A and B are shown apart, each in its own frame.
Chain A
Amino acid sequence: MVSIDAAQLSTRELNIKLNALVEDNQDVKIINPRARHNVVVGILKKCQITVEGSLGYYCASLLDGPTVCIEGNSGWALGENLMNGVIRLSKDAGASVGASMRGGEIFVGRNAGARAGISMKGGTLIIKGNAGFLTGFMMQKGTIIVCGDVGDAVGDSMYEGVIYVGGKITSLGNDAKIANPTQTELSVIDKKLKKNNIAGSYKFKKIISEKKLYHFDKLERLEKSAI
């Protein structure tokens, strides 16, 4: 494993060096990130990246393939637009974790801020602790598993996808409703939690879209005339 000291490099230099090492099939460890923004971005290859310390905004974003383990916290929008791969964060995530993610898995070891999984389009977002306001806001596909509590307006304006909550639901968002999870779903959750070393028995509630807000079959006036 090759180690990069972030304190010695600008963000651009750090990302260029990281990409070069990954292209060279090296596993990389980043030390002293000191909550810097935009680190570990745009890597489109299977590889192992470890970060010792906290990250800032939009870190581990635009990824397709890597396994990124972060020993610390993250700022806003960790794993934004993740296509494939795994992101494991040991502590708290800021707001908008997993924004617009399309695949892969993000695991948050403690709590997540507001708008976790906003506009999610696939993949799995697992939060061991609590998640904040507007969890799964406008999500379109994918799975969010929150072992703890969720804040107000969970699943607001969601199109598709599913949110499982192990703890308390403060309130449901517009067009979100509670459904009963099937045995198969519960055993899938169980497997995913065990894989992330989460023990404990949770009574998961399932939140899905009521589908009263969107009507894809209704065309605009001009669209109708075009047919």
Chain B
Amino acid sequence: MCGVIGIIYKNTKELGLAPVGGDLIKMLTALEHRGKDSTGVTISGLDTQEDYIIRCRVDNKKSSISDLLLQTISKLGAVIKYSSFEKGFGKICINYEGEISELANNITLIEEVKVDSIGTNSEIVKDIGNAASLNNSHLIRDIKGTHGIGHVRMATESKIDISHAHPFWAYPFPDISVVHNGQLTNYHTLRRKYQDMGYRFQTGNDSEIISVFLAERLASGLSLDKAINESLDVLDGTFTYLVSTADAIGYAKDRWSAKPLVIMETENRVAIASEETALRSVFEEEIDRFEPQEKECMTWLV
């Protein structure tokens, strides 16, 4: 069992950035009973001046690794505007005109560095433990943005560590990430197919294929709606997943309606979660909720 959540504010252009971090933590806390092996969020629409935000983990047994990482990034022609390394978690903001795949590939050549995300306006923060400990370690609650997704994990298929925590970034496509509840049965077949096409996988977790699949479809020119729709036939197994891009959120639910999802929508925002109790933690007012059925999907734009 796992829990997925998402929130998107629709009028941030007029009303300014919204308390997405706070909403995500509240919803994840309400879903803690669905899993607390690890918890993670993608927060998008961040107020940032730089081209890219890199979120990574650095094995801090050797202090020189962070310097090596910064040197590697600089060597590729990127200008580092900000960098911080705390308790093994790194955040680097850069201006960069080159290919993201080249940047990502070079960073991952350093064995002691794991990249969680590279985004233009988004970042992935994930850690072992529940929502409260994620917030204590990474101060999520005060982060403002336009939309975000989150996940609480009760591991079933692969190991419990930060790399296998959700959300999964679609390496090397900026801003695309996925949270997933369920098990994919054709993961290995799909993974081999995408590896043959040249895509890299960071983990042995089945959910990672969803983000790579969607990102590849988007890169080939499909709209998010169409890419998600296609995934309903390509993915086999049980799934309810949410995807976040630079300016949208979408969900898809498998043909057996095996995993739960409920949605509440007002004029200003949409909240999506595995259970209504999470929605009630961010909506004070009494509004109707909608439950998608089998083989359904939908997207919302910022």
| A interface list, Cβ under 8 A from B | 34-37, 53-54, 56-57, 73, 75-76, 91-92, 94-95, 111, 113-115, 132-134, 151-152
In the complex, the chain A residue whose C-beta lies closest to that of B280 is A34
Q: How many residues of B contact A (CB 8 A)?
A: 18
Q: List 15 A-B contacts (CB under 8 A).
A: A34-B277, A34-B281, A35-B275, A36-B277, A37-B33, A53-B286, A56-B275, A56-B277, A75-B275, A111-B291, A113-B257, A132-B294, A133-B257, A134-B256, A152-B294
| B interface list, Cβ under 8 A from A | 33, 255-257, 260, 262, 275-277, 279-281, 286, 288-289, 291, 293-294
Given A53-B286, A113-B293, A151-B293; 5 other pairs, CB 8 A cutoff: A35-B275, A36-B277, A94-B262, A114-B257, A114-B293
What's the nearest-Cβ distance from chain B to residue A31, in Å?
12
- A76-B240 Cα distance, complex, nearest whole Å: 15
Contacts of B288 in A (CB 8 A): 91
What's the nearest-Cβ distance from chain B to residue A52, in Å?
10
Choose one: B33, B280, B289, B294; the contact of A114 (CB below 8 Å): B294
In the complex, the chain B residue whose C-beta lies closest to that of A132 is B293
In the complex, the chain B residue whose C-beta lies closest to that of A131 is B293
Whether B260 pairs with A54 at a CB distance below 8 angstroms is: no
Whether A113 pairs with B291 at a CB distance below 8 angstroms is: yes
Whether A37 pairs with B289 at a CB distance below 8 angstroms is: no
- A133-B119 Cα distance, complex, nearest whole Å: 38
Contacts of B291 in A (CB 8 A): 92, 94, 111, 113
Contacts of A92 in B (CB 8 A): 289, 291
Whether A35 pairs with B276 at a CB distance below 8 angstroms is: yes
What's the nearest-Cβ distance from chain A to residue B16, in Å?
29
Contacts of A152 in B (CB 8 A): 294
In the complex, the chain B residue whose C-beta lies closest to that of A72 is B286
What's the nearest-Cβ distance from chain A to residue B260, in Å?
6
- A151-B275 Cα distance, complex, nearest whole Å: 22
In the complex, the chain A residue whose C-beta lies closest to that of B257 is A114
Which of B257, B276, B288, B294 has the most A CB atoms < 10 Å from its CB? Answer: B276
- A147-B280 Cα distance, complex, nearest whole Å: 29
What's the nearest-Cβ distance from chain A to residue B237, in Å?
16
Which of A35, A91, A113 has the most B CB atoms < 10 Å from its CB? Answer: A35
- A9-B293 Cα distance, complex, nearest whole Å: 33
Contacts of B275 in A (CB 8 A): 35, 37, 56-57, 75
Whether A95 pairs with B260 at a CB distance below 8 angstroms is: yes
What's the nearest-Cβ distance from chain B to residue A77, in Å?
11
Whether A73 pairs with B260 at a CB distance below 8 angstroms is: no
Considering the complex of A and B, which 3 residue pairs feature the smallest CB-CB distances, nearest first? A35-B276, A114-B257, A35-B277
Contacts of A54 in B (CB 8 A): 276, 280, 289
Whether B279 pairs with A35 at a CB distance below 8 angstroms is: yes
What's the nearest-Cβ distance from chain A to residue B32, in Å?
12
What's the nearest-Cβ distance from chain A to residue B256, in Å?
7
Whether B260 pairs with A35 at a CB distance below 8 angstroms is: no
What's the nearest-Cβ distance from chain A to residue B34, in Å?
10
Whether B257 pairs with A37 at a CB distance below 8 angstroms is: no
What's the nearest-Cβ distance from chain A to residue B174, in Å?
36
Known contacts A92-B289, A132-B294; is-contact A114 B256 (Cβ 8 Å): yes
Whether B256 pairs with A133 at a CB distance below 8 angstroms is: yes
Choose one: A34, A36, A75, A151; the contact of B260 (CB below 8 Å): A75
Contacts of A76 in B (CB 8 A): 260
- A76-B276 Cα distance, complex, nearest whole Å: 10
Known contacts A76-B260, A95-B260; is-contact A151 B294 (Cβ 8 Å): yes
Contacts of B260 in A (CB 8 A): 75-76, 94-95
- A37-B257 Cα distance, complex, nearest whole Å: 20
In the complex, the chain A residue whose C-beta lies closest to that of B286 is A53
Whether B257 pairs with A132 at a CB distance below 8 angstroms is: yes
Choose one: B33, B276, B281, B293; the contact of A133 (CB below 8 Å): B293
